[in-house]
Amino acid sequence: MELSYVSLLSAFVVAVSLSLHFLFFKNKPTAGAPPGRTGWPVVGESLEFLSTGWKGHPEKFIFDRIARYSSTVFRTHLLGERAAVFCGAAGNKFLFSNENKLVRAWWPASVDKVFPSSSQSSSSQEEAIKMRRMLPNFFKPEALQRYVGLMDHIAQRHFADGWEGEKEVVVFPLTKNYTFWLACRLFVSVEDPNHVDKFAAPFSELASGLISIPVDLPGTPFNKAIKASNFIRKELVAIIKQRKVDLAEGKASPTQDILSHMLLTSDETGKFMHELDIADKILGLLIGGHDTASSACAFVVKYLAELPEIYQGVYKEQMEIANSKKEGELLNWEDIQKMKYSWNVACEVLRLAPPLQGAFREALSDFMYNGFTIPKGWKIYWSANSTHINPDCFPEPKKFDPSRFEGTGPAPYTFVPFGGGPRMCPGKEYARLEILVFMHHLVRRFRWEKIIPHEKIVVNPMPIPAKGLPVRLYPHKA
């Protein structure tokens, strides 16, 4: 019932937009624009773009067009927008070095509706800039060092609750639970599993509705996402109010989590952030932070199951660290620095299964790229796959080979799972820590094998094994 209602509605929206499209845009080629095609009216090539991901090969969209049009840049039409896809290391370099000069970050309009800016005058663009200014203080390596022990503590509880004593587990829901629990603890000091669970369901609704048809009527995924977002913001505001009281009474510490940090940091004019602003920022971090890292952790489990000699290398490194610790002693920053081989393995996982396939920019003015005109307002997409699985950048690109990251590692702008330039992921170091702590606890406890040998991968928008990666666990003998 609900489905047919939604389909009817979508058909209506598409029909109206189609007429508008023909009225205003037509499908005329733009002079000097890169080669390519704009596909169907309104939807453009969005369906091909998304469906190659659903089939587990998002790179196909890019490489088919590189072969047909150009290896550096091609034209397309995505998410209702005229767009150019920049390919290869040169494309990445151009975009990452021209942030706020020729291009700026861009999100689909639906994102603004699900995350309405609490200060109504500012756009998500401005909010993101504010956020970027304050994040490094919390996410820089020196600041994160003090949280390694806490991550270790949460990881131990997670493995005790979800893995130990089980013969078989489904990995993806568990890695989601791990990264979400960590984020709840490190961002807002919510540690009680029941409290964490209260947030988990609305978070899934929010994540799945974020990239959906933006129709705000009862029952649509978009509408559910808005409701979920309002619910979580309300909960976060309650936590924020309580924290203010606790800080004033000395019951909370200024460094216990990112929330305390946000409450106590003023901007350059001496102004502190409004409660709703803080709630929005934390909501953004919880969304941005946990699905990406949980996908990465799940793919670590997948590749280590498939590659026993790689597993052995990680096991050896992690056991040396484990054996150097006293009974009950938590992991610390020095231990993390010793996990060099494990991080090379994680990087190879991020190369082959990047949690984010790429990101959008918007042209701030007309400019030329490789002899083609990119008109002002066009959206530009950079794609991690255009370098990650390109034999010019990574010889034998499908081969899992952590030694690629030894020494000086890959050439600049070729390995970009976290993006690059001023918009590079601010959570990179945090993600490194949580992935390494996860690997430590995983290989210390188990070997495992995949229950579905050739499980399909779905990329929507993050890569996940279609059945969640069920595995059989073999605990190490004590």
Q: Which residues are documented as binding site for heme?
A: 425
Q: 3-class SS at 42?
A: coil
Closest CA to 261 of 140, 137, 347, 349: 137
Question: Which range binds ligand HEM by CB under 6 A, 68-76, 144-152, 204-212, 420-428?
Answer: 420-428
When computed from its CA atoms, the radius of gyration of the chain, rounded to whole angstroms, is 23
User: How many other C-beta atoms lie within 10 A of the C-beta of residue 3?
Assistant: 8
Nearest-approach distance from CB 99 to ligand HEM, in angstroms: 8
List 292, 383, 386, 414, residue binding ligand HEM (CB under 6 A): 292
- Rule CB under 6 A: say whether 288 interacts with ligand HEM: yes
- Rule CB under 6 A: say whether 58 interacts with ligand HEM: no
Number of residues that bind ligand HEM (CB under 6 A): 22
Question: Which range binds ligand HEM by CB under 6 A, 140-148, 190-198, 271-279, 354-362?
Answer: 354-362
Cis ω on the peptide bond leading into residue 475 (within 30° of 0)?
Answer: no
272 close to 295: Cβ distance less than 8 angstroms? no
List 431, 464, 469, 471, residue binding ligand HEM (CB under 6 A): 431
Q: Which two tokens stand for residue 472?
A: 């059989």
CA angle (178, 179, 185) in 5-degree steps: 90
345 close to 300: Cβ distance less than 8 angstroms? yes
Q: Which of residues 378-417 bind ligand HEM (CB under 6 A)?
A: 417
- Rule CB under 6 A: say whether 461 interacts with ligand HEM: no
- Rule CB under 6 A: say whether 289 interacts with ligand HEM: yes
Between 132 and 195, CB nearer to ligand HEM? 132
- Rule CB under 6 A: say whether 359 interacts with ligand HEM: yes
Nearest-approach distance from CB 355 to ligand HEM, in angstroms: 4
> Would you mind telling me the total number of residues written for the chain in this entry?
478
Nearest-approach distance from CB 29 to ligand HEM, in angstroms: 28
Nearest-approach distance from CB 258 to ligand HEM, in angstroms: 8
List 425, 439, 443, 459, residue binding ligand HEM (CB under 6 A): 425
Tell me how far apart the alpha carbons of residues 304 and 310 are, in angstroms, rounded to a whole number.
6
Write the interaction track for ligand HEM spanning residues 98-137; mark x where CB under 6 A is met and - where it is not. Answer: -------x----------------------x---x-----
Nearest-approach distance from CB 376 to ligand HEM, in angstroms: 20
- Rule CB under 6 A: say whether 427 interacts with ligand HEM: yes
Nearest-approach distance from CB 109 to ligand HEM, in angstroms: 16
Nearest-approach distance from CB 11 to ligand HEM, in angstroms: 33
Question: Which range binds ligand HEM by CB under 6 A, 13-21, 22-30, 162-170, 351-359?
Answer: 351-359
Between 402 and 427, CB nearer to ligand HEM? 427
- Rule CB under 6 A: say whether 430 interacts with ligand HEM: yes
Chain center to CA of 312: 28
Closest CA to 80 of 49, 51, 34: 49
Tell me how far apart the alpha carbons of residues 336 and 148 are, in angstroms, rounded to a whole number.
8
Number of Cα atoms under 13 Å in the Cβ half of residue 103: 33
- Rule CB under 6 A: say whether 91 interacts with ligand HEM: no
- Rule CB under 6 A: say whether 172 interacts with ligand HEM: no
Between 422 and 475, CB nearer to ligand HEM? 422
Q: Which two tokens stand for residue 316?
A: 């050896």
The DSSP bridge pattern shows strands 470-475 and 168-170 to be antiparallel
- Rule CB under 6 A: say whether 173 interacts with ligand HEM: no
Nearest-approach distance from CB 27 to ligand HEM, in angstroms: 29
Q: 3-class SS at 297?
A: helix
374 close to 363: Cβ distance less than 8 angstroms? yes
Q: Which two tokens stand for residue 476?
A: 């190490």
Tell me how far apart the alpha carbons of residues 188 and 181 are, in angstroms, rounded to a whole number.
11
- Rule CB under 6 A: say whether 221 interacts with ligand HEM: no
**Crossing angle of helices 193-210 and 171-188, rounded to 10°:** 110
- Amino acid occupying residue 389: I
Closest CA to 397 of 348, 357, 359: 348
Question: Which range binds ligand HEM by CB under 6 A, 166-174, 194-202, 205-213, 287-295?
Answer: 287-295
Between 6 and 155, CB nearer to ligand HEM? 155
- Rule CB under 6 A: say whether 85 interacts with ligand HEM: no
- Rule CB under 6 A: say whether 356 interacts with ligand HEM: yes
Q: Helices in 253-339 by DSSP H: which ranges?
A: 258-264, 275-306, 308-323, 333-338
Contacts of 177 (CB under 8 A, 6+ apart): 158, 162, 200
Please identify the residue of the shown chain whose CB is closest to the bound ligand HEM: 427
Q: Which two tokens stand for residue 191?
A: 């540690």
Binding site for ligand HEM (CB under 6 A): 105, 128, 132, 284-285, 288-289, 292-293, 296, 355-356, 359, 417-419, 423, 425-427, 430-431
